[in-house]
């Protein structure tokens, strides 16, 4: 069976395209070797797109008259800021469910890009293209390739990509009170792991045929904003214990004790999240529950990605 890949934007150099200022690339083995099996990458190189070519003079960000500009290092009068912004404004990105950008890039960097003030660098900038892109597409999960090396950040980004992908599938079917309610129910445990689920639940409860489109827009914006928070171990423990409650009548004393012990071992960092989740899945195969079976919490993305093995 062919897997439907999710469309994700990416800085071209991370795929191995020789578009860097020096004619090189920054091919990322994890992106090309693992994520490419699940994501349909759409490459972008704004510096090439505005006609700078390869090789090209190196550029950096400077602060000038309280504004950040992207200029050629050896010739600050060569300013490409407006061209980068205009290119970013032209990109609709409506089909994308995520975006991976090149860290430290004056055009594509997501955060902590060097900005020079009187030749003194401060790591508080955002790439010119990335800043416009993220502002124009607030729902879009965006991450830098360097941060994907962190297990928590990697899992958080990929989870958000899959949530947005499912939302777009829902919109393609036609937004209704019924499918919004089901979408929320299936993601409720994920939401609970990130924070307070009640505001989103109240929003869904207030949906009517007349306001469903407005509610839908508010819902997905609030959801994608909440999901940016990386889940801590304590929050996962709370959700695991909540799920355990659905088995309180089904498990005997020994099984309950085993499950409690594994959750505690996860709390203390002795085992990864996959261990208590695997045991919970085992018990729910023996004692199915419709709500848990529908929930995405224990299977938020393809098992082959093995992300929760490292949490």
pLDDT digits (tens, 9 = 90+) for 225-235: 999 999 999 99
Q: pLDDT category, 26, cuts 50, 70, 90? A: very high
The pair of structure tokens assigned to 205 is: 């409860």
The mean pLDDT value of the chain amounts to 95
Q: pLDDT category, 138, cuts 50, 70, 90? A: very high
Name the strands in the sheet holding 113-117, side by side, starting at the edge strand that comes first in the sequence.
75-79, 67-72, 59-64, 113-117, 120-125
In sequence order, what are the residues at sequence separation of 6 or more whose Cβ sits closer than 8 angstroms to the Cβ of residue 119? none
Q: How far apart are the first and last CA of the chain?
A: 29
Residue 201 clears pLDDT 80, i.e. is over it: yes
Cβ-contact 65, 33 below 8 angstroms = no
Cβ neighbour number for residue 243 with a 10 Å cutoff: 24
Instruction: Report the pLDDT value the prediction gives residue 184, as an integer from 0 to 100.
Output: 98
Q: What confidence tens digit (pLDDT) does each residue in 232-257 have?
A: 999 999 999 999 999 999 999 999 99
Q: pLDDT category, 311, cuts 50, 70, 90? A: confident
The percentage of the chain sitting over the pLDDT mark of 70, rounded to a whole number, equals 99
Instruction: Report the pLDDT value the prediction gives residue 242, as an integer from 0 to 100.
Output: 97
| Alpha-carbon distances of 165 from 135, 143, 186, rounded to whole Å | 19, 16, 14
Instruction: Report the pLDDT value the prediction gives residue 136, as an integer from 0 to 100.
Output: 97
Q: What confidence tens digit (pLDDT) does each residue in 94-108 have?
A: 999 999 999 999 999
Which pTM does this prediction carry? Answer: 0.95
Residue 213 clears pLDDT 90, i.e. is over it: yes
**Would you give the DSSP letter of residue 182?**
H
Among candidate residues 221, 232, 161, 165, the one with its CA nearest the CA of residue 195: 232
Cβ-contact 27, 14 below 8 angstroms = yes
Instruction: Report the pLDDT value the prediction gives residue 1, as an integer from 0 to 100.
Output: 45
Q: pLDDT category, 2, cuts 50, 70, 90? A: low
Cα atoms in the 13 Å half-sphere on the side-chain side of 302:
11
The pair of structure tokens assigned to 208 is: 């009517």
Residue 211 clears pLDDT 60, i.e. is over it: yes
**Would you give the DSSP letter of residue 211?**
T
């Amino acid at each position: 069976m062919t897997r439907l890949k999710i469309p994700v934007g990416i800085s071209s150099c991370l795929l191995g395209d020789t578009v860097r200022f020096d004619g090189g690339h920054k091919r990322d083995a994890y992106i090309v070797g693992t994520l490419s099996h699940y994501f349909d990458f759409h490459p972008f190189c704004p510096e090439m797109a505005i006609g700078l070519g390869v090789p090209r003079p190196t550029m950096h960000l400077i602060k000038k008259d309280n504004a950040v500009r992207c200029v050629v290092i050896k010739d600050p009068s060569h300013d490409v800021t407006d061209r980068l912004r205009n290119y970013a404004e032209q990109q609709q990105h409506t089909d994308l469910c995520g975006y991976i950008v090149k860290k430290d890039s004056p055009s594509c960097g997501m955060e902590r890009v060097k900005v020079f003030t009187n030749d003194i660098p401060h790591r508080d900038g955002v790439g010119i293209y990335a800043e416009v892109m993220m502002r124009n597409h607030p729902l879009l999960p965006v991450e830098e390739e360097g941060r994907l090396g962190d297990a928590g950040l990697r899992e958080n980004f990929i989870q958000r990509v899959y949530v947005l992908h499912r939302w777009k599938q829902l919109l393609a079917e036609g937004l209704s009170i019924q499918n919004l309610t089901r979408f929320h129910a299936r993601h409720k445990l994920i939401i609970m792991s990130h924070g307070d689920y009640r505001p989103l639940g109240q929003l869904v409860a207030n949906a009517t045929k007349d306001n469903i489109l407005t509610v839908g827009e508010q819902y997905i914006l609030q959801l994608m904003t909440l999901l940016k928070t990386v889940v801590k171990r304590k929050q996962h423990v709370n959700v695991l214990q909540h799920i355990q409650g659905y088995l309180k009548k089904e498990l005997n004393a020994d099984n309950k004790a085993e499950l409690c012990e594994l959750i505690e071992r996860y709390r203390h960092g002795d085992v990864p999240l996959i261990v208590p989740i695997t045991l919970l899945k085992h018990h729910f195969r023996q004692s199915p529950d419709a709500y848990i079976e529908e929930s995405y919490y224990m299977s938020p993305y393809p098992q082959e990605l093995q992300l929760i093995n490292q949490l």
